[in-house]
Amino acid sequence: MAVDYTTHDGVAVITLNNPPVNGLGLSTRAGIVEGLERAQNDPAIKAIVLTGAGKAFSGGADITEFNTPKATQEPTLHTVIKAVEGSAKPVVAAIHSVAMGGGLELALGAHYRIAAHGAQIALPEVKLGILPGAGGTQHLPRAIGLEAALNMMVSGAPVMSEKLAGSGLFDDVVEGNLAEAALAFARKVGAQTGPHPKVRDRKIEHANAEGFIQFTRNTVGAMAKNFPAPLKCIDAVEAGVKNGFDKGLAFERECFVALVQTPESHALRHAFFGERAASKIPDVPSDTPVREIKQVAVIGAGTMGGGIAMNFINAGLPVTLLETKQEALDRGLATIRKNYEATVKKGKLKPEALEQRMALITPTLSYDDLKHADLIVEAVFEELGVKEQVFKRLDEVAKPGAILASNTSTLDVDKIAAFTKRPQDVVGMHFFSPANVMKLLEVVRGKETAKDVLATVMQLAKKIKKTAVVSGVCDGFIGNRMIEQYIRQALFMLEEGALPAQVDKAIEKFGFAMGPFRMSDLAGNDIGWAIRKRRYLEHPDMHYSKIADRLCETGRFGQKTGSGWYDYKAGDRTAYPSKLVDEMIVGYSQETGAQRRKISDAEIVERLVFALTNEGAKILEEGIASKASDIDMVYLTGYGFPLYRGGPMLYADTVGLYNVERAIRGYAARANGDAWQLAPSIAALAEKGRGFNG
Ligand code: T1G
């Protein structure tokens, strides 16, 4: 049973014991009810303490049970909370650490609550696309007031227990031994005659509840576009304010059942688990010993190198920053300082913290200063010859066991590893620009990369707050290999009848942060041009529209040259459709003999997204990525794929692989159809009625 029951001089202690976070799964729920009954029937017991073992009081409902029969099997969380509230003997919830979601709702059913300092308190359900579904929308406003409760529910953000001391949620917040304080408190209230206080009996006091609720609805409505849950929280609270606790509870239930089935909630739960699953590498045991990383070195103080260095100093790790010329080093340091000054200006960093971070950087022009580094990340020019010089030099100076990482985004990590006598210590760490901002980190595993190197980098990624996804070695790894097919389709559609603004608008309406042409103008059209030139040499058979090359030949590299697919005005990043480019596109179609036609937004979205899905399926087939959710995490954290759609692989599951296959076969039979080679796994899964994610 995932619950322990002990007695201590007249006090029964029910301890949730369902690692890792005391998720309120069926066995835990049943254990609590049994413990309560046992305590009711034992005349020696005067009071009950409800607490959690391990790292949490409770992280809430067991989300692994969602959409399974166990989730609604009795005793449901509602039944458990009713049993707690209905206990004739006082129940004291002793919260030593995380009390979230259903965990906090359970505590709100108790007659008293005592918390330790530093416990994270939250109703984070909206982050999973749902709302508190076990009375939280009714209990919390009665415990801490309407405004604070709405704030917590709509944001889903955790509040530290000491911030809630005196809020009406806790009867005490202790710094000392919580267990002793809880037992003493239980003995005290156990000696008192009932009835003991119930949160549900409190009134929601607010001078203008209706007005505040409407104000919250208006504010949230604007922010929560595409996410229905926050507004539902407000509706449920309003129902309780207007019609009382029980009617509010019933309405909350209706909202919960509706939200848990939505594609948005499915996507958010997928991302929640996908983020955690990404750090698990199938053939690297979770207890693989890691190498200690105390001193980092970064080679290259350019845009990437500077951003990479910031990640480590933000985590308190000292960084030796190497450049070849003093002015490059000075420029790099100045850029890092400027970035931090901007953060200080926003009030997100204290000035003294800025200096502390800058002090963690040791600038140098000498490789010899890298000899103590435990991890060395190179971010030098993207050319194999340059990488060769760097890694041969590193092989000479780096200490044994130092991890040698390349930030390459397109080169073969196995070739780079072969420049050293220690290929087992070489790994790819592909950061995304701006490296100190983007969450995604592709960890590229070479043939020889040691398992403890991978385990070390994955753990370090958590420390520097990155979502790390392991990729095998192939051209473009996961993200860029897929985006290449996406861009191919975008270019073909220009040739066939669309224009840049239409393509961008259609995919941005689908939810992408930025369409392919605005994105290319931002990143620089010359970057794609260089890759295509290499591609034409390596794969002369690969059919590409040359329309983007035409654009680049006119020097329209994007924002950096003042014009690209769009026109730009000085000091204004707004993308203005360009008549000249539109005419060039139409002219190009005539040149190739393409019959321009009206292309619907639906076709634009299908061809762009399914191009990602199809390439992602091949990446899975080749073992470059180990799970579909890894591919989704790459796109959710590195390429602006809309979170509420869950990523290209989950979205395809939502559409149904049968329909994805039909669409791809349809495009393969039309103009530029040779670009569509259907991934065999899509057909195979479709035939079984299955998806990528099960
Ligand atoms: N259910 C099941 N497993 C969970 C879980 C949960 N609620 N929360 C975390 N885990 C797993 C997680 O997948 C990972 O597994 C391990 O625990 C450690 O997690 C009715 C319906 C609690 C702050 O949204 O925010 O209650 O990878 O790496 O950094 O109204 O987990 O080790 O196999 O994140 O120390 C609402 C979600 C649920 C809280 C701990 N609760 N969890 O952070 O560890 S819905 C939440 C978190 C609900 C009620 C509704 C964090 C944490 P594995 P971790 P951590």
Q: Using one digit for the tens of pLDDT, what is the confidence trace for 626-655?
A: 999 999 999 999 999 999 999 999 999 999
Determine whether 37 is an active site residue: no
Residue to probe by mutation, ligand 1, list 16, 18, 21, most atoms within 8 Å of CB:
21
Ligand 1 binding pocket includes 190 (Cβ within 6 Å):
no
- Tell which of 441, 471, 501 closes a domain: 471
User: Does the pLDDT at position 87 exceed 80?
Assistant: yes
Say what the pLDDT of residue 143 is: 97
User: What does the pLDDT look like over 312-360, one tens digit per residue?
Assistant: 999 999 999 999 999 999 999 999 999 999 999 999 999 999 999 999 9
User: What does the pLDDT look like over 247-281, one tens digit per residue?
Assistant: 999 999 999 999 999 999 999 999 999 999 999 99
Same domain (yes/no): 349, 250: no
Rounded to the nearest angstrom, the distance between the alpha carbon of 363 and the centre of ligand 1 is 41
- Tell which of 437, 455, 471 closes a domain: 471
Same domain (yes/no): 532, 623: yes
Atom 29 in ligand 1: residue holding the nearest Cα: 276
Are 410 and 382 in contact, with CB atoms under 8 Å apart? yes
Are 630 and 638 in contact, with CB atoms under 8 Å apart? no
Determine whether 74 is an active site residue: no
Ligand 1 binding pocket includes 101 (Cβ within 6 Å):
yes
Rounded to the nearest angstrom, the distance between the alpha carbon of 175 and the centre of ligand 1 is 25
Say what the pLDDT of residue 667 is: 97
Ligand 1 binding pocket includes 135 (Cβ within 6 Å):
no
Same domain (yes/no): 309, 251: no
Three-state SS for 541? coil
The answer to the question of residue 286 being in a domain is no
Say what the pLDDT of residue 205 is: 86
Say what the pLDDT of residue 1 is: 66
Domain coverage including residue 341: 296-471
Ligand 1 binding pocket includes 70 (Cβ within 6 Å):
no
Rounded to the nearest angstrom, the distance between the alpha carbon of 575 and the centre of ligand 1 is 42
Say what the pLDDT of residue 104 is: 98
Same domain (yes/no): 44, 88: yes
Rounded to the nearest angstrom, the distance between the alpha carbon of 213 and the centre of ligand 1 is 29
CB atoms within 10 A of CB 56: 24
The answer to the question of residue 335 being in a domain is yes
Atom 10 in ligand 1: residue holding the nearest Cα: 21
Reported as type and span, the H/E element at residue 628 is: helix 628-638
Atom of ligand 1 nearest to the CA of 56: 22
Same domain (yes/no): 383, 236: no
- pTM score, whole prediction: 0.93
Atom 31 in ligand 1: residue holding the nearest Cα: 59
Write b or e for each residue in 634-644: b if 16 or more Cβ atoms lie within 10 A of its Cβ, otherwise e: bbbbbbbbbbb
Same domain (yes/no): 397, 367: yes
Ligand 1 binding pocket includes 77 (Cβ within 6 Å):
yes
User: What does the pLDDT look like over 407-439, one tens digit per residue?
Assistant: 999 899 999 999 999 999 999 999 998 999 999
Same domain (yes/no): 13, 155: yes
Rounded to the nearest angstrom, the distance between the alpha carbon of 630 and the centre of ligand 1 is 19
Same domain (yes/no): 378, 233: no
Nearest to 525 by CA among 500, 506, 496: 500
Are 27 and 18 in contact, with CB atoms under 8 Å apart? yes
User: What does the pLDDT look like over 25-84, one tens digit per residue?
Assistant: 999 999 999 999 999 999 999 999 999 999 999 999 998 888 789 999 999 999 999 999
Are 13 and 35 in contact, with CB atoms under 8 Å apart? no
Angle ∠(145,150,156) on CA atoms, nearest 5: 125
Same domain (yes/no): 224, 372: no
Cα(593)–Cα(599) distance, rounded to whole angstroms? 17
Pick left, alpha or beta for residue 571 (phi over 0 → left; psi -120 to 50 → alpha; otherwise beta): left
Ligand 1 binding pocket includes 399 (Cβ within 6 Å):
no
Same domain (yes/no): 99, 181: yes
- Tell which of 417, 448, 471 closes a domain: 471
Are 668 and 498 in contact, with CB atoms under 8 Å apart? no
Same domain (yes/no): 599, 662: yes
Number of domains in the chain: 3
Are 336 and 306 in contact, with CB atoms under 8 Å apart? yes
Are 373 and 295 in contact, with CB atoms under 8 Å apart? yes
Rounded to the nearest angstrom, the distance between the alpha carbon of 85 and the centre of ligand 1 is 25
CATH of the domain at 442: 3.40.50.720
Three-state SS for 567? strand
